[in-house]
Chain A
Amino acid sequence: MCRLFALTSRDPVSPMRAIDALNVMKEGHDGSGVGLFLSGLGGPWEELKEYPILSGIFTDEGLSRMSDYMTKNGFQPKYSATFTPDVEPPAGTPRRGAYASIAFKIPDGWKGMAEEQVSQNLVRMRLGLRAMGEESGDIMVFSFWPDTIMIKEVGDPLAMADYLKLDREELQARHILAQGRQNTNYAINLYACHPFFIEGISTMTNGENTAFVPIREYLMSRGVTGYQGYQSDSEVFTHIAHYTTKRLRLDISAYKHVITPMNDDEMRDHPDREFLSDLKRACRKLIIDGPNCVIGCLPDGSMFMAQDRKKFRPGVVGGNPELGIYGFSSEICGLNAAIPDRDRTKDFQPMHLDTAIVGPDCREVLQCSQKDPLRPQL
């Protein structure tokens, strides 16, 4: 089973803290890959919050094809943190070229465009680049979004950190999702590597999603730009989170009502029973039939964890409000390694009805139960 570790902090921290936690949990993952999502970026990016950042891997040719494409669309590079490793890659990792994160200036024509339109256009450009690269393999893009960097590679997390120099200052971030990969049912493909990302929402999962095919078919038929690809059986979790919050405009605490609705008995005396049973019917195709633990980060920087009742060993959330840092870990040893100075009695293991949410202020773990009344905005 993959190992997951996420950090959310008031001040930017190095992704190495998450990588080290993954390393402690090494028994669980076979070191077949690592994925990193970084947002709330620190260092040089602090000034560039408005500019969408393109993250991906490019060969020399890919770089020039990419910059042609960006120029054609009216985008000017503003700042770039490109890294080309000069040492031999670890065994099993191919030499791919430059690992780039480039912030672009939005074309003037986009000014005044509705936010939704801008978002969609960014997704469309990311997909365009991805499609260009799929022919020859010279371009791979994982995200194109303000204040967001994504890195993915095949290999052991610690070896990768060393190879890609992940302790660079320009990679410090407030919100970090990191996954140590266990081999999956599907072929190894960088796009299949967690975390997944769409319009500011990123999630990662461990487990097995037996309902993958019906959910994929359902999402693909929703007519939302960006619901495509699906190289991994859990890529759909990200899109369900996106669908729930952006399309249905529900609060993230409703996410669990979509993926793992309560059964009739549990729902019986719920104050919002009528709405919830209708929602369960309408979203029936999105019910995941676990076992899965999902950790995700939303555009505002809040982080959440949820799991279904089939998950035998739930993840854990804990942290230190004084230091303003919280960790979400699939194993307790990972949390101990990353945040040793915390009150362990306050650690929270969300059970099958719970969603744990830590807001961007990193002050407390909000525990939502599906039994609670829905939040007012519904």
Chain B
Amino acid sequence: MLPERPITPSTLSRKDLPWQIKWDINTCTKCGRCTSVCPVNAIELGVFRKRDVRPPMGLNAKPTTEFSTYYGIRQRTDPAYACIGCAMCNMVCPNNAIEPNRQYDSTTLEFQNNRGGQPRTRGGRRNNSESLLDQIKFIRISMLTDPALDAGRHEFDVRTLLGRVLSPEAEIKCYRENGWKPPVREIYPLVIGGMSFGALSPNMWEGLQMGVAYLNEEMNMPVRMCTGEGGCPPRLLRSRFLKYVILQIASGYFGWDEIIHAIPEMKEDPCAIEIKYGQGAKPGDGGLLMWYKVNKLIAAIRGVPKGVSLPSPPTHQTKYSIEEAVAKMIQSMSMAWGFRVPVYPKISASSTSLAVLNNLVRNPYAAGLAIDGEDGGTGAAYNVSMNHMGHPIASNLRDCYKALCVAGAQNEIPLIAGGGIGKHGNLAANAAALIMLGASMVQIGKYVMQAGAGCLGSEKDRCNVCNIGVCPKGITSQDPRVYRRLDPEKVAERVVDFYLSFDTELRKVFAPLGRSTSLPVGMSDALGISDKDAADRLDIKYVI
């Protein structure tokens, strides 16, 4: 710090920062761990000088001045180094001598974090803690004519279908004429959504894959995980575990060479192919993998030079219009695997979702539609996209489901809903609500990071440095010094834990509704909400 502190329009005081470090001189042992672990260098070791004036007794002697120096922790006020409230410093402190405190009235940083004319980019989720899904109640409980089911002892069939399901008439015709049947997978309705190998650290990715494999092979839960854009490690492509994986191809086509080349050597077909057109947290943008995270391995898998930012263009020269692109890509991806693998697009929830859906209904190869609502998370995006763009998932999904009902195709094109499920930890309730609003399955990303790996991000702008490769938990970093903090075995264990508890909670919701043999997709009569407008919009019951 300068001996003379200049005061310019952009100088901030500690008070201006949303997170302020409270440091206790009396319990600090000066071990230095906090400063070394801080992901954004918000704190530094400081040398403080203190002047002590000592007036002696009596009137003759003059007062003396003593100077002492001591060492302590200083919080930096430069916006580039503002504390993000991750509390890693506290986690490593032996004495709890340091911790961040949130100051809700300190908003000045919001006007300052665009230095150099660069708008802020960050990872994480929308900074809004409201959740409509949490307000929905399940109101249809069997009471009169039959007792509720026993969630603990009754047999439940919690499976869903991914893939184009023929109508009963077409199915019978196809059977009689021995025609072509679109591939359909029977899977668990909670899918781990696309988080790419570039966005996540290798340890995180490995942990997730291990968890998924364990759930499938030991727990008999056909859980699937999507890779996200950016390809897939070559060994996984050639392993038998590929069948638990949904391969994603996105606007940038990153990593697809690797996948295409591996096709002849694949022992198993992937579960499905997801074509990403949009993502709920940054609609209208392609992927954004910033240079910090493009290390040698990632560069090799994606087929790009190391250390360059990889913004995927939202569009590509092969895409002329969504209709054409969807049709072409679905066709060519299906063809690549001999029409044995379901192919479906993923779009951001928006007022144009219906247009895409209508298009898919008429495409016999389309295997589903994934819709990602505004509350979805992301590895990196502009603050403005994340906070202000996109459509809430509930009403968008409802519109799409109702459109399918009108077309008579509600069993034929599965809708996969995502974006804000389990935002406040209510994973099963949120998922069940979306299923009853019409989703055949739901996908989660942020929740997996939070529950599976202890991600610190919140809807109050905590942490959110996923984009710059310094993730304090080692989840979204490509730096081995950081990601070795994360033990893949432990991630796998946590993934299994939360899937099993989700399964129990889901049964606890379905059992009193009397549903056990088929997923209550579209069972909207079971839902109620105390907001009249929301009830009207979603066409569910208004209850107060």
Give me the interface of A with B, judged by CB distance under 8 Å: 1, 182, 185, 206-208, 210-214, 217-218, 220-223, 243, 247-250, 260, 263, 275, 278-279, 281-287, 289-291, 308, 310
Stretch touching chain A among B223-231, B460-468, B513-521: B513-521
Confirm or deny: B128 has a beta carbon within 8 angstroms of a beta carbon on chain A: no
State which of B165, B405, B407, B523 has its C-beta within 8 Å of the C-beta of A281.
B165
A and B contact pairs by CB, cutoff 8 A, 30 listed: A1-B146, A185-B144, A206-B145, A208-B144, A210-B142, A210-B513, A210-B515, A211-B520, A212-B525, A213-B522, A213-B523, A213-B525, A214-B520, A214-B521, A217-B405, A217-B410, A221-B406, A223-B408, A243-B168, A250-B172, A275-B175, A279-B172, A281-B166, A282-B171, A282-B172, A282-B411, A283-B168, A289-B520, A290-B517, A291-B146
List, in ascending order, chain A residues with CB within 8 A of B410's CB. Answer: 214, 217-218, 221, 285
Query: B518 contacts which of A208, A211, A223, A243 (Cβ < 8 Å)?
Result: A211
B161 beta carbon closer than 8 Å to chain A:
yes
Question: A207-B145, A214-B521, A275-B175 known; A221 and B165 CB under 8 Å?
Answer: no
- A contact residues around B166 at 8 Å (CB): 278, 281-282
Known: A208-B144, A210-B513, A289-B514. A281 touches B520 (CB 8 A): no
Say whether B33 faces chain A, with CB atoms less than 8 Å apart. no
A263 vs B414: C-alpha distance when bound (angstroms): 21
Residue B184 CB within 8 A of the other chain: yes
**Cβ contacts under 8 Å, A221 to chain B:** 405-410
**Residues of B contacting A223 with CB < 8 Å?**
408
Complex partner residue of A207 from B146, B184, B516, CB under 8 angstroms:
B146
Measured between alpha carbons, how far is A220 from B402 in the docked complex, in Å? Answer: 12
Chain A residues whose CB sits within 8 angstroms of the CB of B145 once the complex forms? 1, 182, 185, 206-208
Closest to A209 in B: B514
CB–CB A222/B408 < 8 A: yes
Query: Which residue on B lies nearest to A274, using beta carbons?
Result: B175
Q: Which 4 A-B pairs have the closest CB atoms?
A: A221-B408, A210-B514, A282-B171, A287-B518
Asked whether B168 lies within 8 Å of A282 as measured between CB atoms, the reply is: yes
Does B169 sit within 8 A of A, measured CB to CB? yes
The answer to whether B175 and A211 have CB atoms under 8 Å apart is no
Q: Are A208 and B514 in contact (CB under 8 A)?
A: yes
Q: Tell me whether B520 and A284 are in contact (CB under 8 A).
A: no
Please give the distance in Å from A192's CB to the nearest CB on chain B.
14
The residue of chain A having its C-beta at the shortest distance from the C-beta of B513 within the complex is A210
CA distance A223 to B408 in the complex (A): 8
User: How far apart are the CA atoms of A223 and B405 in the complex, in Å?
Assistant: 11
Q: Which residues of B172-197 are within 8 A (CB) of A?
A: 172, 174-175, 181, 184
B172 to A217, Cβ gap below 8 A? Answer: no
Check if A284 sits within 8 Å of B524, measured CB to CB: no
Of the residues A213, A278, A283, contact of B181 by C-beta under 8 Å? A278
A247 / chain B contacts, CB cutoff of 8 Å: 168-169
Contact with A along B136-152 (1 / 0, CB 8 A): 00001010111001000
User: Roughly how many angstroms separate A185 CA and B170 CA in the complex, as a whole number?
Assistant: 35
Select which of B161, B406, B522 is within 8 A of A214 by beta carbon: B522
B518 & A278 in contact (Cβ 8 Å cutoff): no
Measured in the bound complex, the distance between the Cα atoms of B155 and A286 in whole Å is 19
Q: B383-425 toward A: CB 8 Å interface, digit per residue (1/0)? A: 0000000000000000000000111111100000000000000
**What separation, in Å, do the CA atoms of A290 and B523 have in the docked complex?**
14
A88 to B: closest C-beta gap in Å: 32
User: For residue A287, which residues in chain B have a CB less than 8 angstroms away from its CB?
Assistant: 517-518
Contact B408 A279 (CB under 8 A): no
Chain B residue nearest to A220 (CB atoms) is B405
Q: Could you say which residues of chain B place their CB within 8 Å of the CB of A213?
A: 522-525
Shortest beta-carbon distance, A377 to chain B, in Å?
A: 11
**Cα-based distance from A343 to B175 in the complex (angstroms):** 43
Compute how far the CA of A30 lies from the CA of B513 in the bound complex, rounded to whole angstroms. Answer: 25
Tell me which residues across on chain B come within 8 A of A285, comparing CB atoms.
Answer: 410-411, 521
Q: How far is the CA of A220 from the CA of B167 in the complex (A)?
A: 14
Determine if B157 is an interface residue (Cβ-Cβ < 8 Å). Answer: yes
CA distance A290 to B516 in the complex (A): 9
CB-nearest residue of chain A relative to B172?
Answer: A248
CB pair B161 A281 closer than 8 Å: yes
Say whether A282 contacts B165, CB under 8 Å. Answer: yes
Contact A289 B165 (CB under 8 A): no
In the complex, given contacts A210-B140, A263-B157, A310-B514, what are 14 additional A-B residue pairs having Cβ atoms less than 8 angstroms apart?
Answer: A1-B146, A212-B525, A217-B410, A221-B409, A248-B168, A279-B168, A279-B172, A282-B170, A282-B171, A285-B411, A289-B514, A290-B514, A290-B517, A310-B146
Q: Please report the C-alpha to C-alpha distance between residue A248 and residue B168 in the assembled complex, in whole angstroms.
A: 7
CB-defined contacts of A217 to chain B, threshold 8 Å: 405, 410, 522
Kindly list chain B residues whose C-beta atoms are within 8 Å of the C-beta of A220: 405
Q: Is the CB of B167 within 8 A of A282?
A: yes
B171–A281 contact, CB under 8 A? yes
Count chain A CB atoms within 10 A of each CB in B155, B174, B184, B517 and give the residue with the most.
Answer: B517
